[in-house]
């Protein structure tokens, strides 16, 4: 991360002392850390903000860590996840991985090992060749462009790409403008910013790529 973009990290942990320790350690290593003290808050942040990696405790109040990861995966949240837990049996590890965790670390753990595992997850995310489907085309997450049905690639700006990625991650959902502004831009951006970038994407990819749901917002269309 030094010399490049800082990775955004969500830490979901109910132990206040451990949260402070991990926040200080990971911030010193260059991560931009958001914290959630329970599973419900973690779910809200995970669905409304883009993260590169998440560190999630297994035993959480309000919503268990297994359920949290499963819900994030069901909503196509792409962030890599590492589960922290005091439950270290083989069955416990299998349950965590089956829920959608990418890695599993048992408490008590060494901070250097945690850091190394997170670096590995971030490398895997940056090397990913994952794609999201848009009708007959694809959104390629590695070079960050759109592949049309005939193989033509259309380059997008960073904001255009992120807006389309958010829509494609939940293709059947209707996304309010306020949600898209918060997730892709920020709440201080002009109210019209989402409409402007929808126009840019339609100009590049055709009007059908994003559907307007009048009075509600936007949803993914087709290429």
Maximum Cα–Cα distance across the chain: 54
Question: Does 58 reside within a domain?
Answer: yes
pLDDT at residue 53, as a whole number: 93
Q: Are residues 96 and 163 in the same domain?
A: no
pLDDT tens digits for 207-220? 999 999 999 999 99
Residue 100's pLDDT band, with cuts at 50, 70 and 90, is confident
The verdict on 120 and 146 lying in the same domain is: no
Task: State the pLDDT at residue 23.
Answer: 96
Q: Are residues 40 and 121 in the same domain?
A: yes
Among 101, 126, 151, the domain-final residue is: 126
Q: Classify residue 1: in a domain, yes or no.
A: no
User: What is the domain-level CATH number for residue 163?
Assistant: 1.10.10.10
**Within a domain: 84:** yes
> Is residue 2 one of the residues assigned to a domain?
no
Are 172 and 79 in a shared domain? Answer: no
Of 152 and 202, which is predicted with more confidence? 202
Contact yes or no for 93/107 (Cβ under 8 A): no
- Within a domain: residue 65? yes
117 token code pair: 């595992």
Which of these three, 111, 126, 141, is where a domain ends?
126
Name the most confidently modeled range: 3-12, 22-31, 79-88, 117-126.
Answer: 22-31
Q: Which two tokens stand for residue 115?
A: 């850091």
Q: What is the pLDDT of residues 18-57, one digit of tens each?
A: 999 999 999 999 999 999 999 999 999 998 888 889 999 9
Q: What was the pLDDT predicted at 191?
A: 82
Residue 27 to residues 83, 98, 115, Cα–Cα distance (Å): 19, 29, 11
Pair (165, 73) in one structural domain: no
Torsion of CA 32, 27, 43, 135, to 10 degrees: 40
Domain count, the chain: 2
The pLDDT score that the predictor gives to residue 130 is 59
pLDDT value for 39:
96
- Final residue belonging to a domain, choices 126, 151, 176: 126
Q: What is the pLDDT of residue 195?
A: 95
Q: What is the pLDDT of residue 58?
A: 92
Instruction: Provide the pLDDT for residue 2.
Output: 42
Same domain, 30 and 106: yes
Instruction: Give the pLDDT score at 4.
Output: 46
On whether both 121 and 149 belong to a single domain, the answer is: no
Residue numbers of the domain that contains 174: 131-220
Closest among 175, 179, 173, 171 to 209, alpha carbons compared: 171
Q: 146 and 62 in one domain?
A: no
Task: Say yes or no: 64 and 95 in one domain.
Answer: yes
Buried b (16+ CB within 10 A) or exposed e, 192-218: ebbeebbeebeeebeeebbeeeeeebb
Do both 20 and 116 map to the same domain? yes
> Is 25 inside a domain boundary?
yes
- Sign of the CA dihedral 200, 203, 204, 209? positive
Q: What is the pLDDT of residues 159-180, one digit of tens each?
A: 888 899 889 888 888 999 988 9
* Residue 17 covered by a domain: yes
Asked whether residue 11 carries a pLDDT value surpassing 80, the answer given is yes
Using DSSP bridges, classify how beta strands 137-140 and 131-134 pair: parallel, antiparallel or unpaired. antiparallel
Q: Is residue 118 scored above 70 in pLDDT?
A: yes
Regarding whether 105 and 17 lie in a shared domain, the answer is: yes
Residue 48 sits in the same domain as residue 14? yes
């Amino acid at each position: 991360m030094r010399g490049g973009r800082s990775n955004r990290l969500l830490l979901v942990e109910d132990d206040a002392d451990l949260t402070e320790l991990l926040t200080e350690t990971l911030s010193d290593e260059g991560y931009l850390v958001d914290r959630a003290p329970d599973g419900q808050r973690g779910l809200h942040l995970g669905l409304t903000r883009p993260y590169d990696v998440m560190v999630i405790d297994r035993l959480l109040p309000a919503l268990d860590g297994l359920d949290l990861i499963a819900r994030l995966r069901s909503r196509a949240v792409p962030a890599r996840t590492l589960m922290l837990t005091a439950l270290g049996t083989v069955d416990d590890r299998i349950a965590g991985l089956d829920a959608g965790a990418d890695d599993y670390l048992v408490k008590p753990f060494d901070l250097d090992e945690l850091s190394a595992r997170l670096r590995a997850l971030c490398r895997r995310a940056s090397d990913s060749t994952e794609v999201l489907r848009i009708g007959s085309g694809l959104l390629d997450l590695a070079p960050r462009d759109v592949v049309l049905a005939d193989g033509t690639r259309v380059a997008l700006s960073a904001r255009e790409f992120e807006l389309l990625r958010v829509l494609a991650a939940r293709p059947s959902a209707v996304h309010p403008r306020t949600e898209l502004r918060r997730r892709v831009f920020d709440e201080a951006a002009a109210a019209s910013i989402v409409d402007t970038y929808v126009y840019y994407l339609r100009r590049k990819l055709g009007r059908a790529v994003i559907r307007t749901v009048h009075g509600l917002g936007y949803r993914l269309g087709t290429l």
